[in-house]
A = this chain, B = another copy of it.
Amino acid sequence: MKLTEKQQELIERIGVFQEKTGMQPVAGRIIGLLYVSDRPELTFDEIREVLGISKSATSNALNLLQHLNRLDYITYSGDRKRYFRLKLDRWRSLVLKEIDSITDLSVTLREVVAERTGETPEYNQDIQELADFLKYMHQELPKLLQKWEESRK
């Protein structure tokens, strides 16, 4: 399998984006590859070869991505290979999970305000305001997702 220059560039860009969200480099590039590859299902060896990485790196990254629920594989009877593919339908729940993490900070900030001295009312209110905003976002974002789903139909 050969990639055009443009495909390679896209893989890198997607890879870098993923890295910024905390993904390991090789895993990010695998995601990129599966986005741009003409065939959306690639074997272990195809991935390894086209990205020029070792078997161990390939194996580890693929397993990581499966644990993160970003990847899947299917098999075809009479063919021992696994065909890895992105779980594109999962991004909704990934977004929701991301949104949930907002709550953690909001809750913590509420505790902060409760614990703070009463002698800094303005400061306390600033923190409270941030906590409130985060809570608001946490309530509204799922609605936004829902609204979008509906506008699709």
Are B35 and A119 touching (Cβ within 8 A)? no
Kindly list 20 other residue pairs between chains A and B, CB separation below 8 angstroms, not including A10-B115, A39-B120: A4-B115, A7-B115, A10-B111, A10-B112, A14-B105, A14-B112, A17-B104, A20-B101, A22-B22, A35-B109, A35-B112, A35-B127, A36-B112, A38-B116, A40-B120, A88-B123, A88-B127, A88-B130, A133-B145, A141-B144
Copies of this protein in the assembly total 2
Q: Closest CB-CB distance, A123 to chain B, in whole Å? A: 5
Q: How far apart sit A126 and B145, CA to CA, in the bound complex (Å)?
A: 16
Q: How large is the interface on A (under 10, 10 to 19, 20 to 34, 35 or more residues)?
A: 35 or more
Are B130 and A137 touching (Cβ within 8 A)? no
